[in-house]
């Protein structure tokens, strides 16, 4: 419900007081953003599977909004185990291949070197390894992206009667 209210607000025009790059106060106008989506990142449990995608999309549609979803492969959807993002990608790819059109994107915690590192004074950092969230390394990132690309290709080539 909070997400649908946020979409409705983001799609509406706004006027607000701000500061320009030159440091002057100004009233800023926006026309609203029609390209809004909800991110499923899990909560107490993962929410990337087809049942959760359908429930979220139906909730958004019931608010007379376009049901566009992005799936976060990390965080609670991977049970905070970065390497499980590939498994989540595999599931999402299967949904895409089955014709799921309400999934419009994914988020992946990805870097060159897998895992994460702490910043320790006097200790050099590993080039290409995250200092924030643990990430997939290059090869697993490529695998996840290829799985998703295969799902999208299958969705594009499906006959309308198969979806």
DSSP for the chain, written as a single string: -HHHHHHHHHHS-EEEEEE-TTS-EEEEEE---S---EEE--SSS---SHHHHHHHHHHHHHTTS---EEEESSGGGGTT-GGGHHHHHHHHHHHHHTT--SEEEEE--B-SEEEE----TTSPPPTTEESSS-BB-HHHHHHHHHHHHHHHHHHHHS-GGG-
Predicted confidence at residue 1, as pLDDT, reads: 83
The predicted structure's pLDDT at residue 158:
81
**Which parts of the chain have pLDDT scores under 70?**
159-163
Would the pTM count as exceeding 0.85? Answer: yes
pLDDT in tens, 74-100: 999 999 999 999 999 999 999 999 999
What is the reported pLDDT for 154? 97
């Amino acid at each position: 419900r909070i997400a649908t209210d946020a979409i409705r607000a983001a799609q509406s025009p706004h006027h607000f007081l701000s500061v320009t790059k030159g440091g002057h106060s100004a009233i800023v106008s926006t026309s609203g953003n029609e390209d809004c989506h909800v991110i499923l990142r899990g909560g107490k449990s993962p929410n990337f599977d087809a049942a959760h995608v359908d429930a979220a999309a139906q909730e958004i549609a019931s608010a007379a909004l376009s049901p566009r979803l992005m799936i976060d492969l990390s965080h609670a959807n991977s049970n905070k185990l970065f390497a499980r993002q590939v498994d989540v990608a595999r599931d999402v790819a299967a949904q895409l291949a089955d014709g799921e059109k309400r999934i419009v994107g994914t988020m992946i915690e990805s870097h060159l070197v897998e895992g994460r590192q702490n910043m320790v004074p006097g200790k050099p950092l590993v080039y290409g390894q995250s200092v924030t969230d643990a990430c997939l390394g290059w090869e697993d990132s490529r695998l996840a992206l290829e799985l998703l690309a295969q799902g999208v290709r299958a969705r594009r080539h499906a006959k309308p009667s198969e979806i």
